[in-house]
Each structure stands twice: as structure tokens, then as C-alpha cells.
A and B are shown apart, each in its own frame.
Chain A
Amino acid sequence: MSVLEIRDLHVSVDTEQGAKQILRGVNLTIKQGETHAIMGPNGSGKSTLAYAIAGHPKYHVTSGSIVLDGEDLTAATVDARARAGVFLAMQYPVEIPGVTVTNFLRTAKTAIDGSAPPIRTWVKDVRTSMENLRMDKAFAERNVNEGFSGGEKKRNEILQLELLKPKFAVLDETDSGLDVDALKIVSEGVNRAKENTDLGVLLITHYNRILRYITPDFVHVFVAGQVVESGGPELAVQLENEGYDTYVAASAAAAEAIASAEAAHAAAGVVDAPAVNA
């Protein structure tokens, strides 16, 4: 059985003001077939976790590791991670002008499998998956994500998930911007992938609406770049009722304590300084 491990992951991101620490020691172990929901307020670093796992060049792992079946992927290229079996369904899929969905899917499948898929079964697979996701046939000849609505982009992400058959999928706020019908269609796609390929899922979301359709085995509360609490599906219900306020307040108090301890330390340093120089 495959296992994806996130070990004490610290990640910073480049900003105009310099590197900014976002993840502060994330630990997660996801086994194949399991679904883990990561829930947290805006700005808690959920998407950073998603990008860091996929290897986006803007995000730097400062310590910790990402390990798939014992193989350390922390320094692997983006495409090598994908070929190893990690998939990221993006929150904002980008447009690729001039590259049709058909061409893109075949190129990606060939890259993942190491050889071109047999034409006849491949065409049938694509057609079936598109029908399942209620995607019009005309989609195949359109350029990737170009002029797609928000819902169409998300369905296109799940189409890739179903066809590329990764071991693990990170769904980065796949539910955002979807109406109920689209949310159901997308969720069905994820559930099919779970059933067909024993997919492990890391489902990142702000709301627990999607959890009505994709049942999590574990729920993790994510605040200030860390998992602050883990539990079963009941935790999502509790979050729905109580919100993130208590976690955010606790986290802020902790941050303040650290800051004041650092300030006290710095102040002590200043007092020491003349003595050192003398």
C-alpha cells in the first residue's frame, strides 16, 4: 500500500518583501484509499501546502520532507512528482492558449505512463470520463482552460484526475465557486477515482459543504501554517457550528507568547551588549 508522508514541513514563499515563512512544521500521513480533509481559515497556508507538495518553484521547503513510499520527493522536479503519482487539482487552473484538451491529455498520459496510451481504449476512456463529468464533446477540441467557466475548469481538473490515475490527489479548494450541481458532479468524479484506483485524497477546503459528497476519514484543522487538531468527520461538523475562532485565538495567543519571549530575549541581548564590547 502506498503512503504519502509530510514530515515536519516548513515552507517559505518569495514575496516582494523577501521570503515569508508560511508552513511551520506540518505532519501528515496519508495512506492510499484514505481521504483527509484539511480545513482552515483564509491565509492559514492551506494552498501553500498544496503547492509545496506539487513542487511549485515559488515555494521553498526550508526544512522537513515530502516522502512517497519511502522515496524522498522534497527536491524532485514538478514533473517527477507527478510521474511518481502525486496529482494537484488546482484552485485556479491556468489557460494554455493553442493547446487543445485532447492534445494535452494525451501528452500528459504518455508522460505519466512512459508510453503512449493505446489509441482505441484511450479515446473511449476520455469519452467516458467526459460523459461522466457531463462535459460536452466539444470540450476536447478547445484550448486548455481557455474561456472555460469556473465550473468547467474544475471539471477539467477532475477529468485529468480520472484519466491520469495518480496514487494521491491534492484537491486545492476544488469546491470554491461551484454551484450545487457542479459540486455534485465533481464530487462524483473524485469518488469514482477513489473507488477505481484506491486514490488517496488530501482535500483542502474552507467549507465543509463538499464533505457532504466526499466523506473524509480524517479531518485536520489548519491554522497559521500548522495542523492544530485532528479528528474524524465529526470535527468538520463541529467546525461548521463553531467556526475557526477558538483555534485562531489560541494560535494568536501562542504566537504572541513566542513573540514576547523573543522580545524579552532581544532586550536581554541589548543589556548584555556593552559588557561584551567592553
Chain B
Amino acid sequence: MGSKSHTDGAWSERPVQTRSERYASANVGDFDEPTGREVDWKLTPIKLVRDLINGELDGSPLESQVAVAQPVDGFSLSWIDRTDERIGSAGLPEDRASANAWSHFDQALAIDITGEEPTGEFIVARSGLGTVARAAHTVITAAPNSRGILVLENSGDARIAENVEIVVGEGAHVTVVTIQQWNDSAAHLASHFAQVGRDATLRHIVVSLGGGVVRVNPSIHLSSPGSNTEAYGLYFADAGQHLEQQVYIDHEAENSRSRVKYKGALQGEGAHSVWIGDVLIRQSADGTDSYEENRNLVLSEGTRADSIPNLEIETGNILGAGHASSTGRFDDEQLFYLQSRGISEEEARRLVVRGFLAEIIQQIGAPAVEERLTLAVEAELTVTV
């Protein structure tokens, strides 16, 4: 599986310039321990998550901590062995925490989406993970032409490194939502790998509202012609919280399409958010249509929002490729408009923030979940705004 000298951390040699050249391996021993200078670690407080990156992890299956809200036709859930052929079907770790999790998990949670007319969203909730450092692995497989919304909910205490594989079959159209509402002390390092099939659509939505260090990095490979992804994200970083997402969209096949939109709000001393958006349009990806966007709304002093879009284009024959990033305070014109209708400044601010984030919540497509998240954002706002 290659040698250490090829890892991302080997700065004595030429650093990796192209996203696709980043080293990948399922074996933790193939990665150096990160120093904090690496491109994919430099914005993460690695001191707080060393145990997850370098230490031994408890990889026993979380059978009693994972609960299905209610059965839904077209969705099924099971625990599978490491040797199952589904493991590794969507991608391999590109950083040490991901490889550490991969090296330590005993069994993987398998979620299969097979229905073409689902009756509702399938909610898998995880809580009560305690404070022991854990590894987990999930494989989500959407059968050809299947449809559905899968919601992964996380709450309570946790120290967990994990990988989530998502394989979207030909013509399928699925939404995978991962919601992080951990306790303030929790640490969560997750890598998501997705392969999107021919003319299939993956809607991938990351919602991070709580946790000490939460890092969810989706890598979505548009590996078949006509594959499509919409990657959305919403985060609300409070005092002392580090919420990070490194999004990688890999346009491998022709006529693939991607839209990335992450929006975040920050308030309170030490609130830190990181968004890195890598989009690679390979030479083989003629007809690509791509756009990525990150917007941050700063609600108080003492916060920090890192926003780094990277666009690599290896073919000129594309429909479009663009990116946008902004980090700012309130839009004065929006406040003026609302106030000119009699709405007080305080309420106008609340409306604007709620609206700013609602744009992402509205993408989920499951009214009950949207409602709950709207209330959660509301609760965040009453803290200081």
C-alpha cells in the first residue's frame, strides 16, 4: 500500500499539489502522525483529538447505541463483518484518523436503500457513546433506481473516529443527512466517501450544531457519466466549538454535475469553523458543471471562520465551474429592509440568521426533521443575539 515517504505529511519532499494525488490507504501505519502543518490538519486542533488520530480505538459494534426511529419500507439495517465485499467499495482513507478508524472497527453498520417509493425518511440515531475513544464504520448502499432520505443523528457524549461509505447505484436519487448535535465535550472525526453511479444523484447534507471538535469530511466521486451531487452543509459554532468540513468533489466522468453550498454562523469567544472545498475536474470529465459556495455569518467578536475554496480544472471542455466564498457580518441592506417594515433591529437580525441557515435546512426534504433543526437553530440564537 505504498510507503511512508508518499504521505501527505512528508514535507521534506514535494508537497502533494493535486487533490487526486493525495495518498490513500486503509492501514493506519501507512500514515505519519500529523504534526499540525499538513494541509488537511493545519486548521484542526489536533492536540484535542490525538487519541482518535494515533491511539487505540474501541471498534466494537454500537448495537445498543444505534436506534432506528421507526421502520420504513425500502430501508434496512444490519451489522456486517470487515470481510464483507461492501467494505471499501466507495473509497479509502486519506488521513490518519480515517485510517485509524478503518484499522480498528470490528463490524460495520450497513444501511441499504432499496425502495423506489419510500413512505418517509429513515432516521438512524446514535447516542450514549460515552467517553472512550471509538472507531466506527458505516456502509450505505442505494440500489439502482432507489429513492429515499436517510438521516443519521448524533447526540450525547462521544469520542469517535469513523468512516461512512456511500454507494449510489445507477439512476438512484438519495439524500443522506448527517446531524451532529453532540455535547460540548464530544470529539468526532468522520470521513465520508461516496461513489455516484450513472445518472444518479446523491444529495449529501452535513448539519453540525454541537460538539467540541467536529470534523466531517465528505469526498464525493462523480465516477459515472451523468452523475450528480448536491452537497449542502450547515454549521453553527458556539463559544469554544470547532466545527470543520473538508469537502472534496471529484469530477471523474463526463457530464457530471455538482453543487456545493455550506453556510455557517459563528458566535462566542473561540467559535471556529473551517470549510475547505476542493473541486477537481479531471481531463476525463468533459461537460462538467460545477459550483461551490461557502457563506459565513459572524455574529460576535472572538470568532474565526476559515473558508478555502480550491478549484482544479484539467479540461477546458466544461459547462461551468465556479466558486464563491464570503465571511461577513449582517447585510445592512437586509436589516434596513426588514426594519423599514417596522421590525425591530433585534428581531430583524434573528430573522436574517434564521433565514440564512434555513436555506440549507429547506434542502433536507423531510418536514419533521426540518422543523426540529429550525427549532435547534432558534435555540442557538436565543443564547446571545
Is B338 positioned at the interface, with any CB of A under 8 Å from its CB? yes
CA distance A79 to B361 in the complex (A): 29
Complex Cα spacing A250 to B357, Å: 53
Query: Considering the complex, which residues of chain B in the window 154-207 have a beta carbon less than 8 Å from any beta carbon of chain A?
Result: none
B355 & A98 in contact (Cβ 8 Å cutoff): yes
A112 contacts B355, CB within 8 Å? Answer: no
Contact of A112 among B333, B342, B359 (CB under 8 A): B342
> CB distance A54 to B340 under 8 Å?
yes
CB atoms of B337 and A98 under 8 A apart:
no
- Which residues on A sit within 8 Å (CB–CB) of B338? 96, 104, 108
| B342 CB contact (under 8 Å) in A57, A97, A103, A111 | A111
Asked if residues B341 and A98 are in contact (CB atoms below 8 Å), the reply is no
Contact with A along B311-345 (1 / 0, CB 8 A): 00000000000000000000111101111111111
> Which chain A residues border B362 with CB–CB below 8 Å?
98
Give per-residue flags for A68-80: 1 if the beta carbon is below 8 A from chain B beta carbons, else 0. Answer: 0000000001110
Q: For the side of the interface on B, what is the size category?
A: 20 to 34
Among listed B75-83, B85-93, B346-354, interface-contacting one:
B346-354
When distances are taken between beta carbons in the complex, the residues of chain B under 8 Å from A184 are: none
Of the listed residues B342, B343, B348, B358, the one surrounded by the most CB atoms of chain A closer than 10 A to its CB is: B342
Could you tell me if A107 and B339 are in contact, using CB atoms closer than 8 angstroms?
no
With beta carbons under 8 angstroms apart, the residue of B344, B347, B352 that contacts A96 is B352
User: How many A residues face the partner with a CB closer than 8 A?
Assistant: 30
Contact assessment for A107 and B352 in the assembled complex, using a CB-CB cutoff below 8 Å? no
A79–B351 touching, CB < 8 Å: no
Instruction: Knowing A77-B339, A82-B339, A82-B342, say if A111 contacts B358 (CB, 8 Å).
Output: no
Q: Within the assembled complex, what's the spacing in Å between the Cα atoms of A95 and B355?
A: 11
Residues in B with CB closer than 8 Å to A95 are 334
B354 touches A79 (CB 8 A): no
Q: Is the CB of B355 within 8 A of A99?
A: yes
A93: chain B residues within 8 A (beta carbon)? 337
Within 8 A of B (CB), among A97-155: 97-99, 103-104, 107-108, 111-112, 143
Whether A49 sits at the interface, judged by CB under 8 Å, is: no
Q: Which residues of A contact B291 (CB under 8 A)?
A: none
Contact A57 B336 (CB under 8 A): yes
A88 beta carbon closer than 8 Å to chain B: yes
Known: A57-B336, A94-B333. A111 touches B355 (CB 8 A): no
Tell me whether B354 and A164 are in contact (CB under 8 A): no
Distance between Cα atoms of A160 and B338 in the complex (Å): 12
A195-223 with Cβ < 8 A to chain B: none
Report which residue of B340, B352, B357, B359 has the largest number of chain A beta carbons within 10 angstroms of its beta carbon.
B340
In the complex, what's the smallest C-beta–C-beta distance from A79 to chain B, in angstroms? 4
Find chain A residues with CB under 8 A from B342 CB. Answer: 79, 82-83, 108, 111-112, 164
Judging by beta carbons under 8 Å apart, are A96 and B339 in contact? no
28 residue pairs of the A-B complex, CB under 8 angstroms, read A55-B340, A58-B332, A77-B339, A77-B345, A83-B342, A88-B340, A90-B340, A93-B337, A94-B333, A96-B334, A96-B352, A98-B354, A98-B355, A98-B357, A98-B361, A99-B352, A99-B355, A99-B358, A103-B351, A104-B341, A107-B347, A108-B338, A108-B341, A108-B343, A111-B343, A112-B341, A143-B359, A160-B341
For the complex with contacts A79-B348, A160-B341, 11 further pairs of A-B residues with Cβ separation under 8 Å are A54-B336, A56-B336, A58-B332, A77-B339, A79-B345, A82-B340, A87-B340, A96-B334, A98-B354, A107-B351, A111-B344
Identify the B interface with A (CB < 8 A): 331-334, 336-345, 347-348, 351-352, 354-359, 361-362
The 8 closest A-B pairs by CB, nearest first: A98-B355, A98-B358, A108-B341, A78-B339, A82-B342, A99-B355, A111-B342, A112-B342
